[in-house]
Structure 1
């Protein structure tokens, strides 16, 4: 009980410090992450109960200008079908046109895999046509050399994503071995900090282990250090959000950070908005 109260009090103190920051800290720089070469996006799986374009609208209302799509979400927006790398060129153009109208960029896609060489080639061609900068994936080991070749050819980053233990890439040492096999400067890690916490790992230590190889981030803050836990507003949980931000800055990370808020599924837009606000205030405060 004492440990629990200490954790809760620490989280509340951090949150209070963030909330108390004067407006001058963020005035004139609503998107401070851009100065570091970061894009802060929503992984549309956060809004999986809705269509892709409903998710885009929710991301925009939460203060985000870009999204990471996931394979299989109904498109909506007057466009038939699902978000799928096998969609035809006309559907691709329709999606990009609608995104331009909304002022939202599609910067990443994941977690998505190919099951054959042909599918991997199709996936990269699709990402290239859609202007996607990063594919987040959990490739089978046999496809790693091909993924590296395609990533280099298309100049598209690939982040090898970690789900919790005992999935194939749960530990950074496994990811590093896969990166070596892929043998491409464009292939590295998609650091899912929440899943590291679920696996009993320290997210800052994991980032240090992956230094120089972090291509993208899936951002979460969790209520407890346990496999059975849930998302909370960033900076109020156990994921050491301030430490993660500081470590990414120290490493000179450049790339996409996707908000994944996998809780309160039908009404979590405000949760994402508050998390984004907290992230930007912690980033701007610097010393927290």
Structure 2
């Protein structure tokens, strides 16, 4: 495996980070798993090219005690799969969530949270229903646009939705 892989674990350990989010393959899982053991960390497999939660489960394989998933709602939207359904199907592996919205299926064009097709409200509802109590990140890849105001509004909205009955 590349030297930078170990450097990621070393750096995270020095910073006190216990979870790395990364894309991995079924073939790289044994190496990543051994590094998780060595450094006392977990890795959340983030979906980008994967079109279905079964692909994430296949990458995790038999290593579910230290490998899990970080659901990226925007990428599931880009791939045309319901992010809320992915949350349900991956609930036993869920380590982190990146709430991100996209404009359309087929192209990864991020937009302000709640203004696209990724089903953010449904995803938050799914998280509430499964009793998710870990980190939720608001992710907005805005290109040249300063996303600060969009992210601040999104934070208020997500907190309100999480706290509703």
After TM superposition, is the score higher than 0.5? yes
| 1:121-177 alpha-carbon deviations (Å, 9 max, x no partner) | 3321221111112211112433211211222343322111111xxx3x332111101
Q: Are residues 263 and 216 of structure 1, via their aligned partners in 2, closer, same or farther at CA, if it must alter by over 3 Å?
A: same
Aligned-residue CA RMSD in angstroms? 2.1
C-alpha distance in 2 between matches for 1:184 and 1:229: 29
- 1:177 and 2:58 aligned: yes
1:265-276 equivalences under 5 Å are 265-276=144-155
Q: Are residues 281 and 125 of structure 1, via their aligned partners in 2, closer, same or farther at CA, if it must alter by over 3 Å?
A: same
Higher mean C-alpha deviation, range 272-281 or range 252-261: 252-261
Contact conserved, 1:233 with 1:274, CA < 8 A, in 2? no
| 1:199-256 alpha-carbon deviations (Å, 9 max, x no partner) | 11011111111121011111112344x2236434333433222221121122232432
TM-score, length-scaled by structure 1: 0.52
Report the Cα offset of residue 264 of structure 1.
Answer: 5.5
Q: Which residue of 2 aligns with 1:29?
A: none
C-alpha distance in 1 between matches for 2:111 and 2:10: 37
1:73-88 equivalences under 5 Å are none
Q: Which residue of 1 aligns with 2:85?
A: 205
Contact conserved, 1:159 with 1:190, CA < 8 A, in 2? yes
Contact conserved, 2:68 with 2:94, CA < 8 A, in 1? yes
C-alpha distance in 2 between matches for 1:256 and 1:203: 16
Q: Which residue of 2 aligns with 1:135?
A: 20
Q: Name structure 2 gaps, 5 residues minimum.
A: none
Q: Name structure 1 gaps, 5 residues minimum.
A: 1-114
- 1:241 and 2:120 aligned: yes
TM-score, length-scaled by structure 2: 0.86
Report the Cα offset of residue 267 of structure 1.
Answer: 1.8
Give the length in aligned residue pairs: 165
Q: Which residue of 2 aligns with 1:124?
A: 9
Q: Which residue of 1 aligns with 2:40?
A: 155
| 1:10-45 alpha-carbon deviations (Å, 9 max, x no partner) | xxxxxxxxxxxxxxxxxxxxxxxxxxxxxxxxxxxx
